[in-house]
Amino acid sequence: MKKYFISIFTLFYLLPAHSISSFSANYDLHLKNNLGSIKLGSAEYELVVTNNVYIFRNHARTDKLWSSIYDYSINETSIGLIEGNELIGDYYEIIENQGNLISEKYEVNISELIINGLLKSQLDTLSDSELILKAIDSGNFNKIKFADKQSNDSSIPSYKKDLKNRMELIEYLLELETNSSDIVDPLSLYLNISGDVQKSPNRKVFTYQFADKKGISQREFTIIGIEKIKINKNEIETIRIECPELDLRINISKEYNFMPVFISKTNGKSDFSLILVDFIHI
């Protein structure tokens, strides 16, 4: 792919209003090694949007030509709600196959993961004062119940009082976090980046709570710049985005609804990439 960077974000950032709509996209799957880039297979992505629900699927597989050497397939599904133009992730599943054997299979229920996982442990470590301030900041002062002796004592600042309903308040704050559009899975990530770049074109860093089989961890995706690459023999302008912690590079394009036209991912010693072949609105 031919590429070069433009240092200034030009009219490329005069973006249309963001909307979420159904599409299908096909990619070629490549493996990069010492001999260059080898086409191993293909991947099919499909987004179906209906009744404020999205279902995003990916099916990738190696070509029959390579099956005797490397027989691999993957199926991913991400399901969630659409509130306004915000995506609220709910469920993710992945199944990877090596030949006829399942090499990886897990599902993520994002709501349960939040309630039982990292966010709950973080809230548990907060003092009563910190929990009170967090509830106030989120506009939920009415959910706070103070210890009986301090409840009506105006001489004590609210944030210095003891909580009567500490556990109930933590559970309520967790419920608020469950509805956060900042929580993404490995598949809905692409939809969220597409939407957020359009809504906030001047931002250079996008931060998400990334949910997978390991739990929830914070990941930053940085805008590197404008990059011209060739897709289907046509040179197009793209936005290059990188997340070093995930060894992930994404190029998105206005011409294709700000969805990825190029994805590069390092798994161990192998460098895989997906290059867009076609994109269809459905």
Percent of the chain clearing pLDDT 70 (strictly above): 87
Residue with tokens 């995003």: 56
The pLDDT of residue 61: 94
The pLDDT of residue 67: 76
Contact 262, 273 (CB under 8 A): yes
pLDDT of residue 12 exceeding 70, the answer is no
The pLDDT of residue 93: 97
Residue-range definition of the domain harbouring residue 167: 116-178
In 3-state terms, what secondary structure has residue 165? coil
Q: Which of 96-105's residues contact partners 24+ apart within 8 Å by CB, and which partners? A: 96/72, 97/72, 97/73, 98/71, 98/72, 99/71
Total domains, the chain: 2
CA-based nearest residue to 193, from 261, 131, 274, 245:
261
Residues 70 and 154 grouped into a single domain: no
Domain end residue (candidates: 178, 198, 217): 178
- Cα–Cα dist 240/2, whole Å: 14
Q: 3-state SS of the chain: helix, strand, coil percent to 5?
A: 25, 50, 25
The pLDDT of residue 181: 56
pLDDT band at 56 (very low <50, low <70, confident <90, very high): very high
CATH of the domain at 36: 2.50.20
Residues 36 and 158 grouped into a single domain: no
- Mind listing the pLDDT tens digit for each residue in 159-211? 889 999 988 888 777 766 555 557 899 999 999 999 999 999 899 999 888 88
The pLDDT of residue 4: 45
Residues 9 and 102 grouped into a single domain: yes
The pLDDT of residue 159: 83
- Mind listing the pLDDT tens digit for each residue in 80-137? 999 888 898 999 999 999 888 898 999 998 877 665 555 666 777 888 898 888 888 7
Asked whether residue 183 is assigned to any structural domain, the reply reads: no
Asked whether residue 184 is assigned to any structural domain, the reply reads: no
The pLDDT of residue 246: 92
Contact 31, 60 (CB under 8 A): no
Total-model pTM: 0.74
Residues 240 and 267 grouped into a single domain: yes
